[in-house]
Amino acid sequence: MKKEKDILQHYIAHKRLRLTRQRQFILETFLSMESHVSAEELYKEVSKRDPSIGLATVYRTLHLLSKSGLAQERQFGDGQTRYEHDFNHSHHDHLICTECGDITEFEHPMIERLQEEIADRNKFSIYTHRLDIYGLCKRCNKKGETFMPTNRHKGG
Amino acid sequence: MKKEKDILQHYIAHKRLRLTRQRQFILETFLSMESHVSAEELYKEVSKRDPSIGLATVYRTLHLLSKSGLAQERQFGDGQTRYEHDFNHSHHDHLICTECGDITEFEHPMIERLQEEIADRNKFSIYTHRLDIYGLCKRCNKKGETFMPTNRHKGG
DNA sequence: TTTGTTATGATAATTATTATCATTATCAAA
DNA sequence: TTTGATAATGATAATAATTATCATAACAAA
Ligand SMILES: [Zn+2]
Ligand SMILES: [Zn+2]
Ligand SMILES: [Zn+2]
Ligand SMILES: [Zn+2]
């Protein structure tokens, strides 16, 4: 929290931007939420405590956080960009539950290494990658087995 | 071409749909183009030879082709859905060049296997996955080395 | 303060895709 | 073949996420 604020301040000073009340508040809120939030979700949470802050500012601040290394944009194919915490958060890939929307992170060094192999083979130089695995998470699997009602177990 | 038409016909018969001139023509055009086309790109090509066919029909037909197993939807993060041939085309992942947009396919059985390992470890059952590797392709790498003008080597 | 800028909030615009709907085309049965 | 039920089409409106615009407000520093 303290450290993240410093990073934002540093980036802002470096780029000669301004540290506004809104930017600080949006960062705080973003950090207080679980990762992989959409702009709309963050905006809703921000609005709760400060209804004066506009949606456009949330979008603008998310871009700022991305550029400063505090957030990372991700597309999981549900039609909206999701943002995850990117400070002290090393590379990882995702298991996405198509039933409840739950997102689990994982890392597998061997998979990472094999990608280099592919790249070499194709004389391709990797900038980044994403591995998204879609299916049913532990909980949703269980539901199927036991014939429980098939509702989302997250959110409302 | 013959086989693909049969597949479409079979699917259409099975679902009690209708085999229209437009559907046949859009399938033909789709198959004649390189894979990983967007709806807009396909529409442009279709329009060239038959301007009477509407964009909505191209979208609808692409959905139909996807459901019948002739096309597969993919999102590479450039904001539009791309469709690739899916008949006689086994699972593969992609190397995407961020400079020229070129898409190369690859398959790596070991990477596939290790994903199962991840899934087991998380009691997750896989439905599908995608591994997209972004970076510079062979050609664009070369350009960088030799200080050639940095233009796209495709299209235009 | 004044001044030159940057940021904000409201809202219009954009873009890809989907929905609507009146009209047309398809196809199996008569 | 005609017919008739209904699926498909094309034009266009609607939707949804995101971005652009712009008048006003907040900053920073002279
Ligand atoms: Zn990875
Ligand atoms: Zn993550
Ligand atoms: Zn794969
Ligand atoms: Zn492919």
Quick: pLDDT tens for B132-145.
Answer: 999 999 999 877 66
* Residues B7 and B17 occupy one common structural domain: yes
pLDDT the model gives residue B154: 39
Q: How many domains does chain B have?
A: 2
* Residues B52 and B105 occupy one common structural domain: no
For the range A12-17, what are the long-range contacts, defined as Cβ-Cβ under 8 Å and sequence gap of 24 or more? A12/A68, A17/A64
In angstroms, what is the span from residue A91 Cα to ligand 2's centroid?
A: 8
A124/B98 touch (CB, cutoff 8 Å), yes or no: no
Q: What band does B147 get if pLDDT is binned at 50, 70 and 90?
A: low
Tell me which of A146 and B123 has the higher pLDDT.
B123
What is the value of pTM for the model shown?
0.87
Give the domain extent around B103.
91-156
Tell me which of B147 and B139 has the higher pLDDT.
B139
* Residues B65 and B95 occupy one common structural domain: no
CA separation for the pair B117, B124 (Å, rounded): 10
The CATH number of the domain holding residue B42 is: 1.10.10.10
Calculate how close chain B gets to A8, using CA atoms only, in Å.
Answer: 27
Q: Which of A123, A131, A138 sits opposite B131 (nearest CB)?
A: A131
Question: pLDDT tens digits for B54-110?
Answer: 999 999 999 999 999 999 999 998 889 999 999 999 999 999 998 888 999 999 999
CA separation for the pair B111, B116 (Å, rounded): 9
* Mean pLDDT per 10-residue segment, chain A (156 residues): 90 93 96 94 96 96 96 92 94 93 95 97 96 95 61 38
CB under 5 Å of ion ligand 2: residues: A 84, 105
Which ligand is closest in space to the CA of residue B128?
3
> Has residue B146 got a pLDDT over 70?
no
* CB within 7 A of nucleic chain C: A 12, 16-18, 20, 22-23, 52-57, 60-61; B 18-21, 38-40, 55-56, 59, 63, 79-81
Are A71 and A11 a contacting pair, CB within 8 Å?
no
Record the tokens describing residue A55, joined without a space: 């949606």
* Residues B130 and B110 occupy one common structural domain: yes
Calculate how close chain A gets to B113, using CA atoms only, in Å.
Answer: 10
